[in-house]
Amino acid sequence: MTRYPNMEQVTGDFYTQNFEKGAREGSLILNMGPQHPSTHGVLRIILELDGEYILRCDPVLGYLHRMHEKMGESKTYRGFIPNMGRVDYGCPLPWNWAFVGAVEKLAGIEVPERAEYIRVITTEMNRITSHLLWWGAYILDLGAFTPIMYAFDEREWLLDLLQTPTGSRLTYSSFRVGGVGHDIDDKFIEGLKAFIPYFRSRLPMYKDLVTDNIILRKRVEDIGPMPLDMCRRYGATGPVIRGSGLAYDIRRAEPYGIYDRFDFEIPTQDTCCCMGRYKVRLAEFEQSLRILEQAVDQIPDGPIIMDKAPKPSWKPPKGEVYFAVEGARGKTSVYLVSDGTKSPYRVKLRAPGFSNLSLFAEAAQGTLLADAVAILGSLDLIIPEIDR
Amino acid sequence: MNAIRKNVIQPIIDLWSLIVGLKVTGKYFCQRHVTVHYPRKIIPAELTDTFAGHIELIPSAKDPTIPKCISCMMCATNCPSNCIKVLKQKAPKVSPEQEKEWAEAEARGEKVKRPKAPKNPAKFSYDYSLCSLCGTCIENCPVSSLRFSHDIYIVATDRKELTMDLLARLARQAEAQAGKPADRAPGVLEQAAEAGQEASAKEA
């Protein structure tokens, strides 16, 4: 049928052909990605453009699909934990927590006090590193190179610290069913105590350098409005819905672990624009630091993992369980079905980025192409997490 | 009045925000750089000591070339990535005459000590390209014969190079510890480490 060996490159693939059907006369169909630098990996967006204005757009997923959910069905409960470190490389510890939390809820396992504190400390540190990565990369998307250097200065310090309880710098998989894998030492606590005031002193510099900068403000203020009802319709969570004025945070709404013991606020912004989401994330730095300060003061001595922690051949009881935690990007949750064998019957991973990305097509309609990049960045997408 | 504010005062305030940003840049431009210029300098060992690299065998107390490992296969069976292969040692071969002698002794009712296979493995091969560093092998080792190494500088130009013979690695480590001449010239890293130590000594 085809005269050319790679006809698909000439006519477009299935997605493009499907998208083309409703195109307006004289408009231009354009692919953004899957290798576009602002799509952070391999997100592909098909755009219909009228000049520089977006008429329609459609995200195409699946370029980084690694079958994590299917892999869960063939691995043991212990063997699946490293996968959770790789679903979302930016913020893997909430994913760790979601999975081990689900298994613990299923089997009714109590986690030792010290392990709970280590989980809170490492997760909050991970939230800061994730937001720092987002902050640097978002400004980089918008055309400013320098801020990512400042962000990585702090991030490196935190990664050096996080290396003690996790052993790695990126794909952490240090949580275990019934506790955590590695303990923290006095040197870690000292380093963290030194980091908190240092990072706090750097936040005004972030404001001077970036937040108040008129070029950034013109790029993000009143761009990409996502009203609350739109966020609700698509199931957006995390900083996206908090940037639209709803103080919804799993740590407060459905407290898990020991989060009910800490005093922290849930920052919100009513502007619904990219600047709102930006400011929410910057305000979350301060809240994470507050939680860290309290956790470091309160941390008790004791074991870090329960007695007789599950071995790789461990079998949980039959049942279904759902467990949600607050990741850096929103509601991160795991739905687990166990049939009483060594490996789960079904693992469903709810990625916050997937729901957050769904807002993009509607929010980007009618905006400039350059603003679409700003909207896309403000959602804080990690493509491996969306594709799973 | 509003026109003046909009067209004159606001642009000046906006431009001032750029100057504030430049001030930050200027301040940090004059400060010491925070990056480490690899490979002329390398990061201090205290930062690499907490890093969990590929797994390695722990030598037994008696002989640094022999691991504590008892070839129980717990690591190989529990590994979610199937990256460990352990080969048990076979019992030494017995000549037919010896076998006959033992059979006769047994027939007489005497106790015979047949040679058993040594417990330590004959081969311990590990594929780093598959490993996800989850630590299941380390947690499940009954004699704690495995640990994470702190080697952050491992590089390979070929996937086959990532399949390591951990017994040979242990022997090399024992040799280096015993102070025998190394079988290769000091690499760039060792030189850089020495240079870095000298530089830091001078600074101190």
pLDDT one-digit tens code per residue, B30-82? 888 888 888 888 888 777 888 888 888 888 888 777 888 888 888 888 888 88
Tell me which residue range forms the domain holding B118. Answer: 44-180
Q: How does pLDDT run across A72-106, given as a tens digit for each residue?
A: 888 888 888 888 888 888 889 999 999 999 999 98
Nearest CA among A178, A181, A269 for reference residue A220: A269
Pairwise CA distance, residues A279 & B111, whole Å: 82
Query: Would you state the pLDDT for residue B1?
Result: 73
Q: Poorest-confidence range of A24-33, A49-58, A253-262, A269-278? A: A24-33
> Residue B201's CB: how many other CB atoms inside 10 A?
8
Pairwise CA distance, residues A336 & A72, whole Å: 10
| Whether residues B116 and B28 fall in one domain | no
B15 near A CB under 8 A:
yes
> Residue B102's CB: how many other CB atoms inside 10 A?
15
Q: How does pLDDT run across A106-152, given as a tens digit for each residue?
A: 888 888 888 999 999 999 999 999 999 999 889 988 888 888 888 88
For residue A214, what are the CA distances in angstroms to A131, A208, A211, B29, B169? 22, 11, 8, 22, 58
Position B80 in a domain: yes
> Residue B193's CB: how many other CB atoms inside 10 A?
16
Q: How does pLDDT run across A282-312, given as a tens digit for each residue?
A: 999 999 999 999 998 888 888 888 877 788 8
Pairwise CA distance, residues A79 & A71, whole Å: 10
Nearest CA among A28, A85, A101, A39 for reference residue A258: A101
Most B-contacting residue of A78, A173, A176, A217 (CB-CB within 10 A), to test interface: A78
* pLDDT at residue B191 greater than cutoff 80: no
In B, minimum Cα distance to A84 occurs at B134
Q: How does pLDDT run across B70-99, given as a tens digit for each residue?
A: 888 888 888 888 888 888 888 778 788 888
Q: How many domains is chain B built from?
A: 2
* pLDDT at residue A66 greater than cutoff 60: yes
Position B204 in a domain: no
Q: How many residues are recorded in chain A?
A: 388
Q: Which residues pair with B134 in a beta bridge?
A: none
Chain A residues whose C-beta is within 8 A of a chain B C-beta are 75-76, 78-82, 85-86, 146, 150, 153, 160, 163-164, 167-169, 171, 173, 181, 205, 208-210, 212-215, 311-313
Residues in contact with B124: Cβ distance below 8 Å, sequence separation at least 6, in sequence order? B57, B67, B69, B84, B85, B86, B87, B165, B166, B167
Answer yes or no: is the ipTM higher than 0.90: no
| Whether residues B131 and B76 fall in one domain | yes
Nearest CA among B9, B150, B18 for reference residue A167: B150
Query: Would you state the pLDDT for residue A335?
Result: 93
Position B127 in a domain: yes
Average pLDDT score, chain A: 86
Q: From the centroid of its chain, how far is CA B161?
A: 14
Out of A78, A160, A209, the one facing B136 most closely (by C-beta) is: A78
Which of A61-67's residues contact partners 24+ apart within 8 Å by CB, and which partners? A61/A357, A61/A383, A61/A386, A61/A387, A62/A387, A63/A34, A63/A383, A63/A387, A64/A383, A64/A384, A64/A387, A65/A387, A65/A388, A66/A384, A66/A387, A66/A388, A67/A388
Most A-contacting residue of B12, B15, B24 (CB-CB within 10 A), to test interface: B24
Q: How does pLDDT run across A209-250, given as a tens digit for each residue?
A: 888 888 888 888 888 888 888 888 998 898 989 888 888 888
Nearest CA among A107, A127, A97 for reference residue A258: A97
* pLDDT at residue B146 greater than cutoff 50: yes
Q: How does pLDDT run across B93-138, given as a tens digit for each residue?
A: 878 888 888 888 888 877 777 777 777 888 888 888 888 888 888 8
CB contact under 8 A, A167 and B52: yes
Structural tokens at position A54: 């977006």
Out of B21, B134, B139, the one facing A209 most closely (by C-beta) is: B21
Position B4 in a domain: yes
DSSP assignment of A302-348, as one string?
Answer: S-SB-TTPPPTT--PPSEEEEEEEE-SSSEEEEEEEE-SSSS-SEEE
Position B154 in a domain: yes
Distance from the Cα of B95 to chain A's closest Cα (Å) equals 42
The band of A322, judged by pLDDT with boundaries at 50, 70 and 90, is very high
Pairwise CA distance, residues B69 & B74, whole Å: 10
DSSP A1: -
Residues in contact with A251: Cβ distance below 8 Å, sequence separation at least 6, in sequence order? A259, A264, A326
Position B185 in a domain: no
DSSP assignment of B88-151, as one string?
Answer: PPPPPP--HHHHHHHHHHHHTT----PPPPPSS-SEEEEETTT-----HHHHH-TT--EEE---
* pLDDT at residue A1 greater than cutoff 70: no
Superfamily of domain A69-352: Cytochrome-c3 Hydrogenase, chain B (1.10.645.10)
Whether A96 contacts A173, CB under 8 Å: yes
Pairwise CA distance, residues A116 & A179, whole Å: 7
| Whether residues B26 and B108 fall in one domain | no
Query: Which three-class secondary structure state does DSSP give residue A98?
Result: helix
Q: Is A52 exposed, middle or buried (0-12, 13-18, 19+ CB in 10 A)?
A: exposed
Q: Boundaries of CATH 1.10.645.10 in chain A?
A: 69-352
Query: Would you state the pLDDT for residue A97?
Result: 92
User: Which of B188 and A73 is assigned the larger pLDDT?
Assistant: A73
Nearest CA among A236, A304, A238, A297 for reference residue A263: A297
Query: Would you state the pLDDT for residue A321?
Result: 92
Pairwise CA distance, residues A312 & B140, whole Å: 9
Residues in contact with B94: Cβ distance below 8 Å, sequence separation at least 6, in sequence order? B102, B114, B115
Structural tokens at position A239: 């900083």
Residues in contact with B154: Cβ distance below 8 Å, sequence separation at least 6, in sequence order? B53, B54, B128
**Tokens 């807002």, residue located:** A359
Q: How does pLDDT run across A3-39, given as a tens digit for each residue?
A: 667 666 667 777 777 787 777 778 888 888 777 666 6
Q: Is B88 exposed, middle or buried (0-12, 13-18, 19+ CB in 10 A)?
A: middle
| Whether residues B71 and B125 fall in one domain | yes
| Whether residues B151 and B169 fall in one domain | yes
Structural tokens at position A110: 């109590």
Query: Which three-class secondary structure state does DSSP give residue A139?
Result: helix
Position B200 in a domain: no
Please report how the helices A113-141 and A186-206 are oriented relative to each other, as an axis angle in degrees rounded to 10: 30
Distance from the Cα of A201 to chain B's closest Cα (Å) equals 13
Query: Would you state the pLDDT for residue B185?
Result: 46
| Whether residues B29 and B82 fall in one domain | no
Count the helix, strand and coil residues of chain B and give each as a percent rounded to the nearest 5. Answer: 45, 10, 50
| Whether residues B67 and B153 fall in one domain | yes
Out of A79, A163, A212, the one facing B20 most closely (by C-beta) is: A212
CATH value at residue B54: 3.30.70.3270
Position B94 in a domain: yes
Q: How does pLDDT run across A175-206, given as a tens digit for each residue?
A: 888 888 888 888 889 988 999 999 998 888 88
B28 near A CB under 8 A:
yes
Q: What pairing do the DSSP bridges indicate for beta strands A28-32 and A44-50? A: antiparallel
